[in-house]
Amino acid sequence: MVFSLKTIDLERDRYLSHLWRAPTDAGAPPSQLTRGERDADPRFSPDGKWVAFLRAKEDAPPQLHLMPADGGEPWAITTKEQHPLGVEAPEWSPDSTLVAYLARVPEPGRYGTVEKRGPDKEAPRRITVLNYRRDGVGYRNDRPMHIFIIDPFAATPEPKQLTEGDFEHTRVRWSPDGRSLAFASARHEDRHRSMISDVWVMTVEDGQTRQLTGTRISCDQPVFSRDGATVYFAGMDPGETGVDWFACQTGAYVVPADGSAPAVRLTDDEKYTLEGHFGLGPQGILFGAGNRGAVDLLEFDPGGGEPRVLLGGERQVGAVDVAGDTIAAVVTDPGSHGEVVVVDAAGERVLTSFGRRWAEASTVFAMEEITATAPDGYPVHGWIARPQGDGPHPVLLMIHGGPFAQYGWQLFDEVQVYAGAGYAVVFGNPRGSSGYGHAHGRHIAGDVGARSAADLLALLDDALADPGLDENCVGVLGGSHGGFMVSWLVGNTDRFRAAISERAVNAIDSFIGTSDVGWLFTSLYGEDAEQRQRQSPLSYADRVTTPLLIIHSENDLRCPFEQGQRLFQALKGRGAEVEMLAFPGEGHEMSRSGLPSHRLARFEAILEWFERHMKPAS
């Protein structure tokens, strides 16, 4: 098998990724296969002779490359002239003769298509739809994602564009006979005002398409059955409005490949929600399911019944691939940042030790599971990670984003850094989180701050009953929705010594209008202006007495920079103790994928802020 390994080069302030090879029988250690600086997304040809992958050079976007499976010098299949914005998601045809992939097609005159014309000299954009930007991408209405195929063995490979129009397209999957491609796309007239999309099948030879679904759900990741007669896909029902997405469980669906019958949901919409991989397994449908802080890999029989748990326990399954009866997956747990695990008839085997070696060379602070009781009697699940020594330790309440997301069983850098600095870290999954069912997630809709706060404070109080934690020295921090909750808490309680609100929603009114996804958030915050104002942390800025550090990225399109600026201005204007740390050139994902130097600077600022304001009680 071949996989990519990503590392950080602090000296050059960049990320590196290389392809590695490992035998699935664990008979030999992994070995490095490529030496490019950014090699990723490898795909074995079905005949086992070739590896297609993406390679990015310097600051250029990734292009499709090819190399022999047993090693050798790779060569480029696509070029910057063909795809100035790069390519994504390569997929081999079943006969190993063609590769399908995705690429954004820029509007003429934009994105470097005219020499020496930079972004500041482009023509103005006329915006006519709501869904026109995406965090980490920027404008998307003038560079739609299209499907291409290419013969990588041609003397001069030439891409063939299969789709047209201002439609976005998802990763494709080939039919078993190699004649068709399945993909998801929103092509209906009202597509820019809803989350609804459909599954389509295209005939490769003539480009003819047929729609398989009825424009009522949000579809993604379609894959053909082994006989090609049906298509399975991941789907979520956003309701009559098309935007009622919050806490909706993403499930597995099936539809005939000829479109002769409507799609049918196969998974329980209360019990299971997709978090991660979806695709075809050796005996059914592989489904990564969030489960109380874990992500299990399940296999569903399309004929019905309970799923088989292929990988479970206190860990999280990420990327997955299948070859015959063998499944390979990247798995993280509280003792490793991630290893490659293989599951087949012989059982489960771990092929790598990259994350484990790092953990063995460091101090890893364990996760202690706790369950608190909210004021209404509801159980709130979470963890404590405590530093070395007897304590009592100063405490940080850490709140996750989403909110329909989950903390869980993994080696999380945030937890390790703060515990390593001497803080007991309390973190968990209050209502609003994923992994505990639809009702658990939906509970906070319409009263987000107050209902989330009840569960979070119950979790904190349960942890503080431990004499090893200092109840008089407590701070709070969080990002995105977690930042929203920090801003809310400091405006509605004074129990924290210090607080850090990062990339937060602070003013729902302007968030709805300026965020790339703000128009979708009516299912969480409601339609009524008074209701939105009541839920906005900015409405309570005059009550804040807790020293607050606001962290925000200047290019954040998800929770725009003005959200941090508005709260900073409101607090600074009345003389409150507040500072703002603004990161240039970064978007919403800065803490996870920003420049290494920025990520280090962020940690340094967080630790300095809490050190300054949280002196342990004497």
Do the domain assignments include residue 331?
A: no
Q: Which two three-digit tokens encode residue 470?
A: 């200092």
Domain boundary (97, 119, 141) is at 119
The answer to whether position 333 is within a domain reads no
Q: Can you tell me the distance from the alpha carbon of 251 to that of 271, in angstroms, rounded to the nearest whole number?
A: 10
Instruction: Assess if residue 329 is contained within a domain.
Output: no
Calculate the average pLDDT of the chain: 95
* Sheet strand arrangement including 99-104: 87-92, 99-104, 145-150, 160-161
**CA of 442: how far to CAs of 244, 259, 375, 387, in Å?**
11, 33, 18, 34
Residue 529, SS3 per DSSP: helix
Q: Is 290 helix (H, G, I), strand (E, B) or coil?
A: strand
Classify residue 275: in a domain, yes or no.
no
Determine contact, residues 441/448, Cβ cutoff 8 Å. no
Residue 221 in any domain: the answer is: no
Neighbours of 370 (CB within 10 A): 17
pLDDT digits (tens, 9 = 90+) for 142-169: 999 999 999 999 999 999 999 999 999 9
Q: Which residues of 208-226 are buried (b: 16+ CB within 10 A; e: fewer)?
A: ebeebbebbbbbbbbbbbe
* 419-457: pLDDT as tens digits: 999 999 999 999 999 999 999 999 999 999 999 999 999
Rounded-to-integer distance, Cα 200 and Cα 257, Å: 9
**Is the distance from CB of 331 to CB of 318 less than 8 angstroms?**
yes
Please confirm whether the linkage preceding 61 is cis (ω < 30° from 0): no
For residue 579, which of 519, 515, 501 has the smallest C-alpha distance? 501
| Residue 124 CA: distances (Å) to CA of 118, 131, 188 | 13, 18, 27
Exposed e or buried b per residue across 112-142, where buried means at least 16 C-beta atoms within 10 angstroms of its C-beta: eeeeeeeeeeeeeeeeeeebebebeebbbbb
Calpha distance 565→560 (Å, rounded): 9
Q: At 50, which helix (H) or strand (E)?
A: strand 50-56
Residue 410: both structure tokens together = 């993994």
**481 located within any domain:** yes
At residue 616, the pLDDT reads 54
Annotate 571-606 with DSSP letters as a single string.
HHHTT-SEEEEEETT--TTHHHHS-HHHHHHHHHHH
Q: What is the DSSP string of 136-169?
A: TTEE-TTS-EEEEEE-TTSSS---EE---SS--B
Q: Could you identify the residue written with the tokens 């934690």?
A: 469
Specify the pLDDT at position 523: 87
Number of domains in the chain: 2
**Residue ending a domain, choose from 80, 104, 119:** 119
pLDDT along the chain (618 residues), means of 10: 94 96 85 94 96 93 96 95 97 98 95 86 92 93 96 97 96 97 96 94 96 97 97 96 92 96 94 94 96 97 92 97 95 94 93 87 94 98 96 97 97 96 98 96 96 98 98 97 98 98 98 94 92 97 98 98 98 97 98 97 98 75
Between CA 285 and CA 270 the distance in angstroms is 18
User: Within 10 A of 149 (CB to CB), how many other CB atoms are there?
Assistant: 18
Q: What is the pLDDT of residue 617?
A: 46
Instruction: For residue 484, tell me if it sits in a domain.
Output: yes
CA–CA gap between residue 233 and residue 200 (Å, rounded): 11
What residue has token string 């929705």?
481
Cα dihedral 323, 326, 327, 333, rounded to 10, equals -150
Last residue of a domain, one of 119, 142, 169: 119
Residue length of the chain:
618
User: Containing domain of residue 547, as a range?
Assistant: 363-613
Looking at residue 450, which CATH number applies to its domain? 3.40.50.1820
Q: Please say whether the beta carbons of 33 and 20 come within 8 A.
A: yes
What DSSP line would sit under 446-500, residue for residue?
T-HHHHHHHHHHHHHHHHHTSTTEEEEEEEEEEETHHHHHHHHHHHH----SEEE
Task: Indicate whether 483 belongs to any domain.
Answer: yes
